[in-house]
Amino acid sequence: MTHVAAHGLAVDTLPGWEARIFRHQAADPRESTRPIVHMANFALPRERGDFGGGVTDRMGPGDVFVTLFEYGPESTGKPLFAHQGRPKLNARRFSPAALQRTLPGQSGCQLFFTEAGRPFCLYVVIGSHARVPALVDQVERALARVNVGRMDRR
């Protein structure tokens, strides 16, 4: 088990899982870069798109990739983030179409919500749609070990 924490987020990983918490450097001072959590039950490649570019095309059937992507304070209270608290995962939330990049056989789930006053998107990719029922509980256990704290928004 590994503990990582930054930007008001903390993760205690499940055995066999990896986690990263990061925030891009803004190339333009008017850009808004927000914290991002990546988790996976396989070794995360160094070069990764925020929603799994360069990762999901390498996944096997039993692999799971998770993104927790935070939006800026201007998004707080918007209808897209109306759901309060992190929704629970279940197999019905997954679909082969719910993917940023629809690769054959894969399955995805994307949820928008507000937690601790912060707007988020949770995006989960499982390497095989057929494996969703078997893996979704493990994903939920991994997410239960992600802690979102309140922080001063800038």
The residues that touch other proteins, with contacts defined as CB under 8 A, are 24, 26-28, 30-34, 47, 49-51, 53-54, 69, 71-72, 74-75, 78-83, 87, 93, 95, 97-104, 108-113, 121
- 68-to-28, 29, 34, 86, 126 alpha-carbon distances in Å: 23, 23, 11, 11, 15
Backbone phi and psi for residue 58, each to the nearest 5 degrees, phi listed first: -105, 0
Single out the residue of 65, 28, 67, 33 nearest to residue 50, CA to CA.
Answer: 67
Sign, CA torsion 5/11/15/17: negative
Q: Is the Cβ of residue 13 or residue 110 nearer to other proteins in the bound state?
A: 110
Phi-psi region of 20 (alpha: psi -120 to 50; beta: other; left: phi over 0): beta
Q: Is the Cβ of residue 14 or residue 109 nearer to other proteins in the bound state?
A: 109
Backbone phi and psi for residue 64, each to the nearest 5 degrees, phi listed first: -130, 135
Residue 18 beta carbon to other proteins: minimum distance, rounded to whole angstroms: 20
Q: Is the Cβ of residue 13 or residue 71 nearer to other proteins in the bound state?
A: 71
Q: Is the Cβ of residue 58 or residue 141 nearer to other proteins in the bound state?
A: 58
